[in-house]
A and B are shown apart, each in its own frame.
Chain A
Amino acid sequence: MKLKRGAKIESYVPTAPMSDIAFLLIVFFMITSTFPVDRSFVNLPGAELRFQVEDKSAAWIIAYQSNRNVFLKVSDGKSMSQPLEEQKPFPVDRLEAWVYRQSVDNPGQLFLLKVDKSISYFWVDKIIMAIKNANTVRNIVFLAAAEKSF
């Protein structure tokens, strides 16, 4: 008896769930991705014991060296860091005013210090002095990298 040939089923790889997976991944990345507040190239000092900070809630003070001058950048933690004063290295008087305004607008705010490890303490002292003179800031974090260096 001759067998009746059935309808031919074409072989294919189902691609419909692929877009579901892809969109799921997009949603994941959109939720988890954060844009860094500061992109300045700073060699952070190394430390063994470090405390994790939520950067969005903190104000940033960035000090970096360029052409033997020390420059300052600041950020409120929500927008990208900006130089405190264009072309002028280390405007310490303006830093104090900025710290004061920032801490009055956001009481109890944490201040993050992102300072290059090779900078002399003289400049760090000026930042600490500005913070102390503002008299409204209590908590600061000296950002540090994992590797201990000497």
Chain B
Amino acid sequence: MKKTTQRNKVDPEIPTGSMADIAFLLIVFFMLTTVIAINRGIFFKVPEPAEDEKPQDIKEAAIYLHVTDDGQFIMDQKPAQLNDIKPYCRQKLTVNPNKPLIIHCAANARYQDMINLLDEVKQLEEEMYGEFNRGKPLKEQKRIRITIPTLEEAERYQNL
């Protein structure tokens, strides 16, 4: 009997050629959907409420910064430019670092104007205490005593 000829032996293998295609498809998906979300903003510590429900900071004793409805700045009852705020507050806070600072915005002022003012004060805080605060936990950091009264609270201050 004639012996059947043995064919070339085919090695068993899992085809991996398409794996790279799938992998790159997944990469493209993640690259398109990934959002590197870095949120940054101005940190503000809400002051502890006073025990006797009365406002802690009396207007006369504090630095009073006001934003009017039309976006003008008033600094201790005097009109001021945004650039004037930092030197004025620095001078006051150098004499008394515990002096509270009140930021009072009129109802129709733009949010941007309030942020501009807060940003100036925060820059001053960084200049004054930045070096000291570096690496320290939040509780031990030195800060300017900033108060942002609500419109209701501000009205109450004015009636005092």
Residue B40 contacts which of A118, A119, A144 (CB distance < 8 angstroms)? A144
B152 at the A interface (CB under 8 A): yes
A-B contact pairs, 17 of them (CB 8 A): A15-B17, A30-B30, A32-B34, A33-B30, A35-B35, A36-B35, A49-B42, A49-B119, A50-B41, A120-B109, A121-B108, A139-B138, A140-B46, A141-B41, A144-B119, A149-B112, A150-B116
Instruction: Count chain A residues whose beta carbon lies closer than 8 angstroms to a beta carbon of B.
Output: 55
B43 A51 Cβ-Cβ under 8 A: yes
A128 / chain B contacts, CB cutoff of 8 Å: 148, 150
8 further A-B contacts with Cβ under 8 Å, apart from A117-B115, A129-B151, are A22-B26, A30-B30, A45-B115, A46-B115, A47-B122, A138-B45, A140-B44, A141-B42
A115-143 interface bits toward B, Cβ cutoff 8 Å, 1 = contact, 0 = none: 11111111111001101100101111111
Contacts of A23 in B (CB 8 A): 23
A52 within 8 A of B: yes
Query: What's the Cα separation between A138 and B138 when bound, in Å?
Result: 12
Please determine whether A118 and B112 come into contact, CB atoms closer than 8 angstroms.
Answer: yes
Name B25-61 residues within 8 Å CB distance of A.
26-27, 30-31, 33-46, 48-49
Residues of A within 8 A of B114 (CB): 121, 124
Q: Are A141 and B109 in contact (CB under 8 A)?
A: no
B80 at the interface (CB under 8 A from A): no
**Is the CB–CB distance between A45 and B112 below 8 Å?**
yes
Hey, which chain B residues are within 8 Å of A112, CB to CB? 39, 41
Which of A's residues lie within 8 Å of B, judged by CB? 15-16, 18-19, 22-23, 25-26, 29-30, 32-36, 45-53, 55, 112-113, 115-125, 128-129, 131-132, 135, 137-144, 146, 148-150
Q: A34-B35, A46-B112 known; A144 and B30 CB under 8 Å?
A: no
Q: Knowing A29-B34, A34-B37, A53-B41, say if A22 contacts B23 (CB, 8 Å).
A: yes
A26 touching B23, Cβ below 8 Å: yes
* Docked-complex contact B122 and A49, CB < 8 angstroms: yes
Instruction: Assess whether B72 is interfacial by the CB under 8 Å rule.
Output: no
Q: Which interface residue of A45, A50, A120 has the most chain B CB atoms within 10 A?
A: A45
Q: Across the interface, do A116 and B115 meet the contact criterion of CB distance under 8 Å?
A: no
A-B pairs, 6 with minimum CB distance:
A22-B23, A29-B30, A50-B40, A45-B115, A143-B41, A33-B34
